[in-house]
Amino acid sequence: MIQFDKFTLANGLRVIVHKDETTPMVAVNVLYDVGARDEEEHRTGFAHLFEHLMFGGSVNIPEYDEPLQMAGGENNAYTTNDFTNYYIQLPKENIETALWLESDRMLSLAFSEKSLEVQRKVVCEEFKEHYINKPYGDAWKHVRELTYTTHPYKWMTIGKELSHIEEAQLGDVKAFFQKHYNPLNAILCVAGDVETEAIKVLVEKWFGNIPSGEKYTRQLPAEPVQTEDRRETITADVPLNALYKTWHIGNRLDNQYHAADIITEVMGSGQSSRMYQELVKEQRLFSNISCYHTGSIDPGIIVVEGKLVEGVAIEDAEAAVDAALKTLQDKGITEEELHKSINRLESMVAFEDMNLLARANNLAFYELLGDADMMNTEMTKYALVTAAEVKEVAREIFRPGNSNTLHYLKQTNEPIAE
């Protein structure tokens, strides 16, 4: 059981305090309720661009990393389609350095053409390196655009087009900051050997005078129920043919979420999973294969992806995946598979909770979902899932009309007949 206290400042900043007496370090986590789904379709990549801009200096702090390093701390951040998360870990006696850094950039970034240009170049290079020049780098661009027709999950976190970042204007960037990076749209979690009352005083000191900003009300277009299977084939300079298949599932708080998670554990999580054993080891159709879900807050997807063994026809590989899923729909999973999956998930959670930063991150995330205490009740929901429920959910998800298939084929350079 993870113990914590919660309070909210007058400006709307939600604060979670988690006490851990076993560590001399403290974790300070700031989660902003803004991700790639909150961007306009003709201006994507802004949430990820801000992940970089937030380290470019603020009103009173020209170099973000310098004072943090002097205080013995380290930091990082990541962006998803749903939210952006910034975190710091440092010795607890220097906690005010972390609160000063986070509050100053929440109050106001030091926007300048120079800062924007520097970070724009960094993000553009990242886009080219990972999504244009890397083998299979654009696979998820195709997968998302094939799977989502309406919801903003149809573009990647880094953005839909490189040009959106290349053409980003300072005015657009400032407007995005003012809309999303304010106390009303943030959750602060402080974890370590700290007292709640002392943290209240410090948080009030550093964040209390920041204007609350306007409440952002998310009104995203819902993805229509898919009724027809969709397919696409592309060719690229890659070493092996690859198969990507997706199916729509419910949102993060949907009743089917935990059963869907168990399905991915049984079917394609690790070398003991069904698909790895059957399609990699026994039938030797794939060199590797995995099954997972996106875990997104809005309705997400289950994904099967794998690289084929050289010489295997992609139609045969896809038919084997479909057959494995048909067996799941017809026969379900065994009690042994159910309990093994739940035990593995429980072990993963327990291992993650050993890390102070992970705890702070997760408390903020569950608070974003609705209540930080959901972190303590999550595993009980898995324990309630039955094998019969898994079979029923598998039939709902892998129904005809709900699949999207991408054949990602390597180019063939066969000589042209004269």
Using one digit for the tens of pLDDT, what is the confidence trace for 174-231? 999 999 999 999 999 999 999 999 999 999 999 999 999 998 999 999 999 999 999 9
Residue 417: pLDDT band with limits 50, 70, 90? very low
Using one digit for the tens of pLDDT, what is the confidence trace for 96-137? 999 999 999 999 888 888 889 999 999 999 999 999 999 999
Gap between the Cα atoms of 99 and 88, Å rounded = 9
pLDDT at 413: 62
pLDDT at 418: 45
From the candidate CATH numbers 3.90.110.10, 3.40.50.300, 3.30.2290.10, 3.30.830.10, the one assigned to the domain spanning 5-207: 3.30.830.10
Using one digit for the tens of pLDDT, what is the confidence trace for 263-314? 999 999 999 999 999 999 999 999 999 999 999 999 999 999 999 999 999 9
Give me the CATH topology for the region 230-410: Cytochrome Bc1 Complex; Chain A, domain 1 (3.30.830)
Strand order in the sheet with 84-91: 5-8, 14-19, 186-192, 25-32, 84-91, 74-79
Gap between the Cα atoms of 397 and 26, Å rounded = 42
**Kind of pairing between the strands at 5-8 and 84-91:** unpaired
- Answer yes or no: same fold for 5-207 and 230-410: yes
Using one digit for the tens of pLDDT, what is the confidence trace for 349-384? 999 999 999 999 999 999 999 999 999 999 999 999
Identity at 81, one-letter amino acid code: N
Are 372 and 21 in contact, with CB atoms under 8 Å apart? no
pLDDT at 414: 53
Gap between the Cα atoms of 117 and 199, Å rounded = 37
Of all residues in the chain, the percent with pLDDT exceeding 70 is 99
pLDDT at 58: 86
Report helix angle 356-369 to 374-383, nearest 10: 80
Are 352 and 302 in contact, with CB atoms under 8 Å apart? no
Comparing CA positions, the residue from 410, 404, 413 lying closest to residue 135 is 410
pLDDT value at 415 more than 60: no
Give me the residue spans of the domains in the chain.
Answer: 5-207, 230-410
DSSP 63-127: -SHHHHHHTT-EEEEEE-SS-EEEEEEEEGGGHHHHHHHHHHHHH-B---HHHHHHHHHHHHHHH
**Kind of pairing between the strands at 74-79 and 5-8:** unpaired
Using one digit for the tens of pLDDT, what is the confidence trace for 54-104? 888 888 888 888 999 999 999 999 999 999 999 999 999 999 999 999 999
